């Protein structure tokens, strides 16, 4: 069983579990994510988003796929991830949403934000980052900061942490690699930079809530689809829309 520093998680808002996913399982997940990427261009299942880079349009994110891949469903809904979450929540966890961020070379980062601003229906969630490629400062790893214990920090009209509040936080990078898991609270401030390397920085982001608060996954995706249908696929033609909040810094395809 993974050593779980519950008090550290409660103090910092994140927990790094190093080398807890074995090589065979990583290989199986990698193959399943490669299939998911093919689905994005072949008309397969899942919800997929693209962004523009200097080298052309590339896939930015896939989501809503847990019911279409046995390998990914098994990993997401059982095993080490849900075991750790049960300890952090103090009860079983239920999946709220799932996504893969590909962060291709030149792929955009995310402005400082807290996920809670965009996650509806339940007040508290915990996400697990599952790196499939090394996440370094150069490739756009997560930066996190204390402050989640204060709840929702001030946000601007885009749902990002206000610039003055973000500047006052004690940011630190969290480099991770395949086999590691990074758990973080939905109130944990975080951001990431553009991938400046020549390789993708793929990572799964699996978000859960305590089971006692209900299963809201289908409602979440229905609500997101309705909002996207109404608002369109970009923010004023400047940034591609892949999240409910305007925190993604990627360019719309065709820009």
Query: What is the tens place of the pLDDT at every residue in 95-148?
Result: 999 999 999 999 999 999 999 988 889 999 999 999 999 999 999 999 999 877
Residue in 90, 93, 115 with CA at minimum distance from that of residue 4: 90
- Is 230 domain-assigned? no
Q: What residues contact residue 154 under an 8 Å CB cut-off, 6+ apart?
A: 161, 162, 165
3-state secondary structure of 21: coil
**Average pLDDT in the chain:** 94
Q: Which of 1-15, 57-71, 153-167 has the lowest mean pLDDT?
A: 1-15
- Is 255 domain-assigned? no
| CATH code, domain carrying 29 | 2.60.120.620
Name the β-bridge partners of 251: 52
- Is 251 domain-assigned? no
pLDDT at 1 over 70: no
Q: What percent of the chain has pLDDT over 70?
A: 99
Higher pLDDT, 70 or 151: 70
Q: Which of 58-67, 190-199, 234-243 has the lowest mean pLDDT?
A: 234-243
Residue in 140, 127, 126 with CA at minimum distance from that of residue 176: 140
- Is 53 domain-assigned? no
- Is 23 domain-assigned? yes
Rg (CA), the chain: 17
- Is 173 domain-assigned? yes
Handedness of CA 185, 169, 135, 44 (dihedral sign): positive
State which residues form the domain around 101: 6-46+65-215
- Is 222 domain-assigned? no
Phi, psi dihedral angles at 151 (to 5 degrees): 80, -145
Q: Terminus-to-terminus CA distance in the chain, angstroms?
A: 48
Number of structural domains (the chain) is: 1
């Amino acid at each position: 069983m993974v050593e779980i520093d519950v008090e550290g998680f409660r103090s910092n808002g994140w927990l790094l579990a190093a080398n807890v996913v074995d090589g065979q399982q990583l290989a199986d997940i990698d193959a399943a994510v490669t299939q998911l990427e093919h689905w994005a261009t072949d008309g397969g299942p899942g919800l997929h988003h693209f962004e523009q880079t200097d080298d052309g349009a590339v896939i930015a994110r896939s989501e809503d796929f847990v019911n279409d891949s046995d390998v990914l469903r098994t990993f997401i809904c059982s095993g080490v991830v849900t075991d750790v979450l049960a300890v952090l929540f103090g009860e079983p966890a239920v999946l709220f949403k799932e996504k893969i961020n590909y962060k291709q070379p030149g792929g955009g980062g995310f402005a400082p934000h807290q996920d809670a601003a965009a996650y509806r229906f339940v007040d508290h969630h915990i996400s697990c980052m599952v790196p499939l490629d090394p996440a370094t400062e150069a490739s756009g790893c997560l930066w996190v900061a204390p402050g989640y214990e204060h709840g929702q920090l001030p946000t601007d009209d885009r749902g990002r942490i206000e610039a003055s509040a973000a500047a006052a936080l004690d940011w630190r990078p969290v480099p991770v690699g395949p086999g590691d898991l990074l758990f973080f609270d939905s109130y944990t401030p975080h951001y990431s930079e553009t991938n400046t390397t020549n390789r993708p920085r793929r990572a799964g982001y699996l978000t859960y809530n305590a089971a006692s608060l209900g299963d809201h996954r289908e409602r979440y995706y229905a609500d997101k689809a309705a909002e996207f249908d109404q608002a369109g696929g970009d923010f004023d033609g400047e940034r591609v829309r892949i999240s409910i909040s305007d925190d993604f810094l990627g360019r719309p395809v065709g820009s």
